[in-house]
Amino acid sequence: MSSDSAPKQLLTKFVVSPLTGPSPYIKPYCVDFVLDGVNRKWHCMRNHDAVVIIVYNTDRKALVLVRQFRPATYLQRCLETNGGKLESLMSVETAPPLPAEAGDVLEACAGIVDKPDKSLAEIAAEEVLEECGYRVEPDKLELVGCCRSGVGVSSAKQTIYYAEVSDSVQVSEGGGNAAEGERIEVVHWPVDQIDQLLLGSGGTSGSCNEIYIGLQFCLLWFKVNKMQSS
C-alpha cells in the first residue's frame, strides 16, 4: 500500500485529562541523589525498551516505513496551534480542533520489548511481519547497534536492526495488531527520494511530523552504510 492510496482517517473525539492513578505505560519516579557532595533531585519515568527495524525492499528499491496516528503528537500539534491552552482540549463538548492527519507520524518499524521469553531478534521479526507484512527470519536480521532514547526522562534502550526483504516474502498487507487497536499504514519510500525526508538535505521544510528524530537516524544510517550497494 502506498502512502497515496491510504484512505483519510476520521477523528471524532479527542479529550485530554490529567492522569491521576497508576499507569502501566507512564511510571514517574523521583530520584534523590548526591553527586560529588551536592544533593539533587530528578523526576524521570520508566518506559519499555524497544526494537527498531530499518526495512529495505530490494525489489522495489524502497525503504518500508510505517505511518500511524500518534496521540501525543496530535496533542502537541493542537497546543502549538492554540498557544498552549490545554484546557480547551479537556472538555467532551469540544470537537477535535485539527484533522486526524495532524497526528500522523512517519517512522521506522518498531515495537516495545515486553515478551521475556523471546529474543530481541524474534520480537523484531514479529514486528516486521505484524506492521509491514514481510516475513523475515530473526537470524537474518543485521544488528546495527543499541542506543538510548530520551536520556533526560526515561533513557530506555533501543536495539536497532537492518532487514532486507523482497516482494516474495510479503505475506500480508501488515497494518499492525488490530486487536490492540493498531492501524498502521505501510509506506514504501523509494531510496532515490530519501533526501526529501532528510533534515538539512533540501527536504522536510514542511511538517515536523514527517521527521521524527529516530527516523532521521535510520534514514541517514541507510544512506551512509547501504546506499552505495543498493
Binding to a second copy, residues 76-95 (CB under 8 A) = 76, 79-80, 86
Q: Which three cell numbers stand for residue 67?
A: 505511518
Is residue 71 part of the contact set for a second copy (CB under 8 A)? Answer: yes
- Torsion angle (degrees, nearest 10) of CA 192, 197, 203, 205: 160
C-alpha cell at 36: 560529588
Q: Which is nearer to a second copy, 114 or 167 (by Cβ)?
A: 114
Residues between 114 and 143 that touch a second copy (CB under 8 A)? none
Nearest-approach distance from CB 167 to a second copy, in angstroms: 26
In the bound state with a second copy, the residue whose beta carbon lies nearer, of 138 and 214, is 214
Taking the complex as a whole, the smallest distance from the CB of residue 55 to a second copy amounts, in Å, to 15
Task: Collect all residues with Cβ–Cβ distance below 8 Å to 120 and sequence separation of at least 6.
Answer: 51, 113, 159
Selected from 4, 93, 179, 213, the binder of a second copy by CB under 8 A is 213
157/47 Cα distance (integer angstroms): 9
Taking CA atoms, 168 is separated from 54, 64, 86, 136, in Å, by 18, 14, 48, 11
Least CB distance from residue 168 to a second copy, whole Å?
A: 26
230 near a second copy, rule: CB under 8 A: no
Q: Binding string to a second copy for residues 167 to 186, with x set by CB under 8 A, is what?
A: --------------x-x---
Per DSSP bridges, beta strands 50-57 and 157-165 are parallel
Residues 13-42 that bind a second copy (CB under 8 A): 13-19, 23, 25-40, 42
Which one of residues 6, 98, 156, 169 is an interface residue with a second copy (CB under 8 A)? 156
Distance CA 113, CA 188 (A): 25
